[in-house]
């Protein structure tokens, strides 16, 4: 599984390619679909990390779940 940072970098590259407007429509659609998949993977990774952080928060010497504050 790719690292979050690598996925974000690739997503940035896709956005730049799409914004350039120099690709045929079919290629643009493929890049768009790839970007959507990367967004979903990044969102999943962030959700997993958020849950881990919630579990690790300690309160009064005990582990207590607290809402993740953005």
CA 55 to CA 36: how far, in whole Å?
29
pTM of the shown model: 0.72
- Per-residue pLDDT, 2: 78
- Per-residue pLDDT, 15: 95
Could you read off the pLDDT of 10-60 as tens digits, one per residue?
999 999 999 998 899 999 999 999 999 999 999 999 998 888 777 776 666
CA 50 to CA 13: how far, in whole Å?
26
- Alpha helix ranges (H) inside 1-70: 4-20, 25-56
Rg of the chain on CA atoms, in Å = 18
Domains within the chain, CATH numbers bracketed: 4-63 (1.10.287)
């Amino acid at each position: 599984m790719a690292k979050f940072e690598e996925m974000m970098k690739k997503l940035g590259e896709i956005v730049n390619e799409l914004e350039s407007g120099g690709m045929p429509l079919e290629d643009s659609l493929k890049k768009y679909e790839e970007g959507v998949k990367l967004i979903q993977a990044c969102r999943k990774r962030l959700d997993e990390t958020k849950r881990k952080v919630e579990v690790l928060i300690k309160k009064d010497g005990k582990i207590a779940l607290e809402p993740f504050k953005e």
